[in-house]
């Protein structure tokens, strides 16, 4: 159950793949009791204020799965700004909600945060 105080963002699309979700490049590699994530996300709303992230990442490389829809995992975890660089995208309109590009480098996700 989500606690009301938490401010989550959904982070699905990656640059150059967009709606073609099975091709996303963000990779989560299992190391012991955690995943290490590297990749990019784009058009992520409210990441300026969020403290949680619902992150879609590939946990098995595309070349190693039988079907492209396999090997993707969803994580609900802390938006750790030491490992996620949140860059706001300048827009002409829709300014009430911030839009962002996320650069993820070495984000550590405890195994229990995998959904
Ligand atoms: C202001 C804004 C805020 C957003 N906030 C969030 C957010 O908070 N969290 C989040 O996860 N995402 C967010 N998004 C991302 C949004 O979900 C993506 O823009 C969406 O997934 C589409 O990806 P794309 O823009 O790269 O379009 P593309 O994937 O480039 O698609 C462009 C067009 O091509 C068509 N198309 C694409 N692939 C195919 C295909 N295989 N077959 C046929 N047609 C196809 C599409 O229907 C579309 O018309 C946001 C986007 C915007 C613009």
Q: Which residues of the chain have pLDDT under 50?
A: none
Q: What confidence score (pLDDT) does residue 2 get?
A: 52
Pairing of strands 34-45, 52-58: unpaired
Q: Is the CB of 76 under 6 A from ligand 1?
A: no
Distance (Å, rounded) from C-alpha 95 to C-alpha 111? Answer: 36
Residues facing 66 on adjacent strands:
none
DSSP conformational letter for 63: G
Chain-centre distance of CA 14, in angstroms? 9
Beta strands, E only, the chain? 8-11, 27-31, 34-45, 52-58, 72-78, 84-88, 99-110
- Ligand 1 centroid to residue 64 C-alpha, Å: 26
Q: What confidence score (pLDDT) does residue 50 get?
A: 96
What pTM does this model have?
A: 0.89
Distance (Å, rounded) from C-alpha 27 to C-alpha 57? Answer: 6
Token digits for 65?
Answer: 């799965």
For the chain, the structural domain boundaries read 8-113
- Ligand 1 centroid to residue 19 C-alpha, Å: 5
CATH number of 8-113: 2.40.110.10
Distance (Å, rounded) from C-alpha 96 to C-alpha 27? Answer: 31
Residues in the chain: 115
């Amino acid at each position: 159950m989500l606690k009301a105080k938490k401010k989550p963002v959904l982070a699905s699309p990656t640059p150059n793949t967009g709606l073609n979700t099975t091709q996303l490049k963000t990779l989560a590699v299992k190391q012991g009791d955690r995943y290490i994530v590297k990749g990019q996300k784009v058009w992520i709303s409210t990441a300026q204020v969020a403290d949680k992230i619902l992150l879609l990442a590939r946990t098995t490389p595309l070349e190693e799965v039988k079907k492209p829809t396999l090997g993707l995992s969803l994580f609900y975890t802390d938006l750790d700004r030491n490992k996620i660089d949140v860059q706001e995208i300048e827009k002409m309109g829709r300014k009430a909600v911030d839009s962002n590009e996320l650069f993820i480098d070495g984000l550590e996700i405890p195994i229990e945060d995998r959904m």
